[in-house]
Amino acid sequence: MAEFVAGAGEVRAEDSFDAAVVAEWLRDNASDASGLDGAPQVQQFSGGASNLTYLLRWPSRDLIVRRPPAGTKAKGAHDMGREYRIQAALAPVYPLVPPMVGYCADESVIGSEFYVMERLDGLILRRDIPAGIGLDTEAERGALCAALVGALADLHDADLGATGLQELDRGPEYVARQVGGWSERYSRARTEDVGDFEAVMFWLSEHQPADRPHTMIHNDFRFDNLVLDHAEPVRVVGVLDWELATVGDPLMDVGSALAYWAQADDPEAIQAIRLQPTNAPGMWTRDQVWAAYGARRGLAVSESERRFYELFGTFRLAVIAQQIYYRFFHGQTTNPKAGMMGQFVRILDARCTELLP
């Protein structure tokens, strides 16, 4: 079965819920309740610090539960119903979304809304590539990068008209709204021990590219949100974590993906916070990703546009990390991963400064 994080284990006390109650709700409400008799075993995946993810295990079936964290949250964040509806609507035109099982808006069931999906069978890469899984050669790793770009391009080419998700498109000036919105989020979440990002926010507001045709975008497209085929790990069989998905400029999606793309010649500080194996021999550089994506979709992206999208993606990642760190700083979570986010933000601050012309 797919390994969502290494060492998934006991549920943290602050994140606990009654799994038997969820099982009962599923038996009454799930699209398919087969194999759900009795109370399941429950584990929490430790990789996420935003929405919480759990594994429910019955003898013949595994399901995934997603729910929001406790504590103060950003306006509009952690909307489980939205996340569920997007994936359900995309399924007919983008088969890489996990099958949805059910959504519960009634917070009295476990103390929050939640949704349930099938657990995908496959391999998920983390910081490094394990030996012997079929990704040992540089050619295989290049094919893996091509698969990621292909899966992202396929999402951007998906027929929105067949999904009913056009309502997510708020019209022109998507980029301007994103720059303004994420700047406001950072200002609200800033703590006294991190930088102000004022120069970055000003440059982004003054150098926005022209509007491009809008598509469905994932907004967190990276290797640890991809499920790979066990037998053929250069083939993507699933895309996870649709929390930030919307309709907008597809190149913003590329820039956000590249914010995580620490390549081999990046500084030591970037290597220290690397979350995926993009520095391994044979893995593409960011320039190669841009070139392959542009060729796949028939787009020309200038150097100045690439700078903007990469800088915005890096800034946006810093804001996400700071929102998580804010909860730790103010005692709303004891998750040690949240506590590490302050240093993550400081390193990304330096990276943003390097990207400024």
**What's residue 333's pLDDT?**
86
Q: Are strands 114-118 and 61-67 parallel, antiparallel or unpaired?
A: antiparallel
What radius of gyration do the chain's Cα atoms show? 20
Structure tokens at 343: 């240093």
pTM: 0.90
* Residue 324 identity: I
CA angle 56, 58, 61 (to 5 degrees): 90
User: Which has the closest alpha carbon to 297: 161, 151, 157, 95?
Assistant: 157
**What's residue 351's pLDDT?**
97
**What's residue 335's pLDDT?**
86
**What's residue 71's pLDDT?**
58
Averaged pLDDT of the chain: 93
User: Which has the closest alpha carbon to 256: 144, 128, 163, 155?
Assistant: 155
Identify the segments of the chain with pLDDT beneath 70: 1-8, 47-50, 71-77
Domain with CATH 3.90.1200.10 in the chain: 138-355
Q: Would you call 326 helix, strand, or coil by DSSP?
A: helix
Report DSSP state, residue 279.
Answer: T
Give the sign of the dihedral formed by CA 66, CA 169, CA 158, CA 164.
positive
88-97 per-position pLDDT tens digit: 999 999 999 9
Domain with CATH 3.30.200.20 in the chain: 13-118
2-19 per-position pLDDT tens digit: 443 344 688 888 889 999
**What's residue 1's pLDDT?**
38
**What's residue 47's pLDDT?**
60
Question: What are the distances in angstroms from CA 340 to CA 136, 242, 263, 273, 344?
Answer: 31, 24, 22, 10, 7
Decide which of 3.10.130.10, 3.30.70.260, 3.30.420.40, 3.30.200.20 is the CATH code for 13-118.
3.30.200.20
Distance CA 176, CA 187 (A): 17
- Beta-bridged to residue 57, according to DSSP, are 41, 62
CATH class entry, domain 138-355:
alpha beta
